[in-house]
Amino acid sequence: MNKQSPTHKSKTQVKFKVQKIIALSLFIIFAGKLVAYFLTNSVGILTDALESTVNVATGFITLYSIYVATKPQDENHPYGHGKAEFLSASVEGFLIIIAGIIIIYEAVKRLFLPAEILQLDIGIVIVAVAGLFNYLLGWYSIRTGKKHKSIALISGGKHLQSDTYSSIGLVAGLLILYFTGEVWLDSLIALIFGTIIIITGIRILKETTSHLMDEADFELIKQFRNVIKEHKSDTWIDIHNFKLVKYGNAYHINCDLVLPYFLNLAQAHEEGEKLKKLVVDSFSEEIIFNLHIDECFKLYCKNCKQENCPARQEKFIEEADFDLKKFINEKPEEKV
């Protein structure tokens, strides 16, 4: 069963529009930082400028990935194109790591080949203003990403905000350099922030790789479990083998529903539709729900509340436990 929110198309258009604004703004910020570097000849400011090249590149990659992710399912992509968002975030991680390595190389080289630093005061102002704009863009990206369930916008926004924290430290270091005149501090600043950039890239790569590998999102699964548990019908003896994968804006869900063995096909189908409707109506995202129905095999008597069961072998004791581990377990016979 596939349910698409009436506002799905408009949400996608909003995401695309937001990312266009972010990508163009990042290019302007990068240009400003580049001007600051050429004015000052500071390798510390160069770290900020090089990281901005990554921001610009990933900004446009994310823009393209959102466009690709909105394409409908087709014969070659039966689950849609949503993975493009995860791929763009992974590319972002790689590029950030490369930028960090380049920054450290330039910092070490400058230690042995010092260069005169000029107009540092102007450079500090430009870096500070750029950092503020990065934070605002990051906040805007994260807010929109959470609203429209876009990991690419959220990942990009978090990175932009981390740039701001780096910029604060960079400005502080540049101020010390400005007032002391110790040129070696420029290289030290670059080494510190080059390392921070590499760590950031590794963290982003780790997070997005888990999504590409379809690692289970247990927090998200808990949300679905809680909805089902709260509105569970007495006829639903147990639910297990719950699997969830997110592709772009769509949740692909598979699970098994255990029903009393004496129900006929029409009754079993009706109960299955009730479960699907409950899950679909409880979330605004697009949901593709595949349900398998199991009979109880007379193994769930102590968990079954059906008073009219003609083959009950023991009294009802309690409803089946919705412990998360059991909820995702594939073998129902291990649950009793």
- Tens of pLDDT, residue by residue over 230-286, are 888 888 888 888 888 776 556 788 899 999 888 889 999 999 999 998 888 877 667
Domain of residue 238: give its range.
218-334
pLDDT at residue 159, as a whole number: 73
Same structural domain, 281 and 205: no
- Verify that 153 and 6 share a domain, yes or no: yes
Residues 247 and 187 in one domain: no
End position of a domain, from candidates 212, 237, 271: 212
Query: Strand (E) positions, the chain?
Result: 2-3, 238-247, 250-259, 286-295
pLDDT of the residue at 256: 92
Q: Which H or E element spans position 61? A: helix 43-69
Q: In the sheet where 2-3 sits, what is the strand order? A: 2-3, 286-295, 250-259, 238-247
Distances (CA, A) of 313 to 111, 263, 299, 302: 81, 17, 9, 9
Query: How far apart (Å, rounded) are the C-alpha atoms in residues 296 and 95?
Result: 53
Low-confidence ranges of the chain (pLDDT < 50): 1-7, 334-336
According to DSSP H, which parts of 231-320 are helical?
Answer: 265-281
Q: Give yes or no for a contact between 70 and 16, defined as CB atoms under 8 angstroms apart.
A: yes
> Could you report the per-residue pLDDT of 59-92, keeping only the tens digit for each?
777 777 667 656 666 666 555 555 666 666 677 7
Q: Which residue has the tokens 């080059």?
A: 194
Task: Verify that 287 and 208 share a domain, yes or no.
Answer: no
- Secondary structure letter of residue 1 according to DSSP: -
* CA dihedral over 299, 304, 310, 314, signed as positive or negative: positive
> Residue 300 sits in a domain of what CATH number?
3.30.70.1350
What is the residue type of 177?
L
- Is 292 strand, coil or helix? strand
Q: Look at residue 73 in the predicted model and tell me its pLDDT.
A: 63
CB half-sphere exposure, 79, CA atoms < 13 A: 14
**109 and 228 both lie in a single domain:** no
Predicted TM-score (pTM) of the model is: 0.56
Q: What is the DSSP letter of 296?
A: -
CB atoms within 10 A of CB 78: 7
Residues 311, 199 share a domain: no
Listed residues 185, 212, 239: the one ending a domain: 212
For residue 156, with 0-12 CB atoms within 10 Å meaning exposed, 13-18 middle and 19 or more buried, which class applies? buried
For residues 149 and 16, membership in a common domain is answered with yes
Q: Do 154 and 16 fall within a single domain?
A: yes
Per-residue pLDDT at 272: 92
Residues 146 and 19 both lie in one domain: yes
* pLDDT value at residue 231: 86
pLDDT of residue 336: 41
CATH number at residue 204: 1.20.1510.10
The domain tally of the chain equals 2
Q: Are residues 68 and 121 in the same domain?
A: yes
Residues 182 and 225 in one domain: no
Angle (nearest 5°) at CA 95 between 128 and 56 = 50
Q: Are residues 194 and 263 in the same domain?
A: no
Residue 217 has what pLDDT? 67
CB burial readout 223-254, b (16+ within 10 A) else e: ebbeebeeebeebbbbbbbbebbbbbbbbbbe
Count other C-beta atoms under 10 Å from residue 76's C-beta.
6
- DSSP states of 293-307: EEE-TT--GGG---T
Write down which residue in 197, 212, 227 finishes a domain.
212
In this structure, the number of other CB atoms found within 10 A of the CB of residue 109 comes to 12
For 115, the 3-state DSSP assignment is coil
